[in-house]
Structure 1
Amino acid sequence: MTIDSAPAIHRAPAIDTLRFATAGSVDDGKSTLVGRLLHDSKSVLADQMEAVEHASRSRGQDTPDLALLTDGLRAEREQGITIDVAYRYFATPRRRFILADTPGHVQYTRNMVTGASTADLALVLVDARHGVVEQTRRHLAVSALLRIPRVTLVVNKMDMVGCSEQVFADIVAEFAGCASTLGVVRVTAVPVSALDGDNVVRPSDRMDWYGGPTVLEHLETVPIGVDPRTEPVRLPVQYVIRPQTAGHRDYRGYAGQLVSGLLRVGDPVTVLPSGRSSVVEAIDTPAGTVPAAWAPQSVTVRLADDIDIARGDLVAPAAAPPRTTRLIHATVCHLAERPLRAGQRVLLKHTTRTVRARVEEIGSRLDLRDLTERPGPWTLDANDIGRIVVRTAEPVALDGYAELRRTGSFLLIDPDDGSTLTAGMADAPEDPAAPGRAEGV
């Protein structure tokens, strides 16, 4: 056995998990699609189905309204819309799934951002009768902004257009053009009728011209994750372990979750923001000491040198550390009801590190109607997406969001009440100093 082969040898044989987010305009049938997916994959409990059947009969419907499986909030039922992010968990023999069902209205853009921020795939619905609309482009833009690795176009209500292959082809061509403009390169398209179940879990006899996978088959087989050996190690320190019991007083370990990369015993590492270096002496896990570990495992690392490390520090390869900076240029989505203002003092939370910061500048706001940037706003309101500059009181070791999502993202927090204000996606730092050194103020 060699250490290089550790990921292939030690990886557990258990089925993996796909995190995906659904998005679509109002009345595109997203709730029905999710309900059909849950029902036909036998992921609905008997009492849930009985409740849906009872509610459907009380409305005078002869068949169960599968949308009721997902639209569970009182306000949603009363208004006939989905206004929150609902997380659904289901599984098939091939894979586990975490589904973030996000709202369709433009005023809930922030909900899609929070729901899709950790997604491996975005499933965007389009009504076959209406084609690509303004909200479709918004959802595609948010998917591109969040760097979601894959986008799946689901053209719903194909039964309403006679299951026309030409209608489907025209919508796919327009969607692909928008995706290309936004830099989205991995798009899969599936024609469905969620109401009747065509191409959701079972192939459709009415669309025999389509030879691709059903929605569920695509979700079960789409590749997810990356080879940890292709990304640099990033280990945000969550906790310093120093037992005070007899026989363990010399133990000093740094616990956290590897958010990227493959870490081996003997690897030279740098601890940021201090810039001090050492070598990995041991890697401890709940199963014992191992020669190597990889994302997203939680580990405790012991180093050869006794250096000062605290919660919020970042362990990275000595040869490929992120840059530390106090000036962050970023794209953000404002989440709070009260606006974000230039000059506002905030807390910036990046992985396990929280530092004081100030919003130096709000440079532009994205106009979600035509996806163009409008320069010069002084504030960002709820659901606004914009460009800002933040200056931190202490250096922060971060990557560009385009390269590493986990260490390229951050939150802005209200220092008075601790509420979350804004979600940010950092540009690659442009610090001209050598990697691993903090820039001056």
Structure 2
Amino acid sequence: MHNVLLVARREYLEQIRGRAFRLTTIMVPAVFVLLIAIAYFSSIGLGSHRHLVIASNDANLANAIRTELLTPKSSKRSSESKPPQIDVLAPATETDRLVLQKQVQSKSIDGFLFIQTSSSAAPIATYTSASAADLTTNGRLNDAVDHAVVDQRLAGFGLSGSETSALDKGVKIETYQIRRDGGVVKSNALASFYKGYAMAILLSMTTVMYGLNVARSIIQEKTSRIFEVMLSIVKPSEMLAGKLVGVGAVGLTQILIWVVAAALILTSSLATAYLKGDFEIHFSWVEAIMFPVYFILGYFLYSSLFSGIAATCETEQELQMYTPLAALPVWLSFSVILVIINDPNSFWSVALSLFPPCAPIVMFLRMGSEIPPAWQFAASIILMVISIWAILWVSARLYRIGILMYGKRATLPEILRWLRYS
């Protein structure tokens, strides 16, 4: 055990002091801060620079739509941005449509809304602009036209402006979730999705990354022949165990730093502008406990697999040919994300959460929607432990002989002989 701790300490200090550890540890939180800041500041005044024209054969409807567009829908828009420039052309004809098209082409205006109404049919509305993906403007125009047409029709039945506004007001549905302990908490599907997705991404990224780090460390020491010196002091099994423990401790240290940084980011004014109200994100004690558990299990699963593979490789280029093996479970897990989010208790959701390579990712995608039963946690952990033991049994035997094999390609018959000899 003493030798295992010595190797683990060497691996831990070597990677902690490395430039790559410092850069990734600092840059990941910095990138998230930058993304939040870009999203926040770019949303301020979004669409306020637009110059639009509303053309219609009904002047009252055109002015009503203009009023809807210029009415602030939130305090954020009214205080931080100016309204777009909107002109009304009414009554408008087909000749006016051609003139407006030329103005869009010459960039005199950004776009125009053309509405034709009749007494016997619903209004026909078309929006023409130079951009095919102006989602913000399209959404505002749809809402404004809907409200203005409904208000005009209700006014035709003799209702006053206040009465039409009351009838036209939408109903907001608040969602709640009943937990397994009987407690009722407010929920939001989009916030739950992003929470589960972010935790699954972090878990998959770190477990695969540090699993590959173990493999690269083996290749580097194998090519530098440092193994021959170290094997005079420690056994191969002790060296492998020390590597797994040392690099795993580096991963936990980095995640702890990221968690502290994330807590500081989420309490900043930039993040609270989004993560509040309906979008407020809550973390349960189950998620807090299971994250390090699944990180450790996922790390040992991938690192033990790649340590055995690395022992059979001569160069890092040869090792890179096996990296798609690490990506396959990740691709499989995220390919069924819609099934998992919409029905976390479906057959495929439960089956993938019990499949050891996918269990860490799928479990956190499921927890974003609903906490799975305790027996499924227990079953997935037991299956992962059994898988880790089986892979370690094979990898340790490959490692024991493979680290001293030079200049000979490890074919499948050769690997089978290594397993028999060890």
| Same fold? TM cut 0.5 | no
Computing the radius of gyration from Cα coordinates, the structure with the larger value is 2
| TM-score relative to the length of structure 1 | 0.25
| TM-score relative to the length of structure 2 | 0.26
Q: Which one has a larger percent strand, Structure 1 or Structure 2? A: 1
Q: Which one has a larger percent helix, Structure 1 or Structure 2? A: 2
Compare relative contact order (CA 8 Å, sep 6+) and give the higher one, 1 or 2: 2
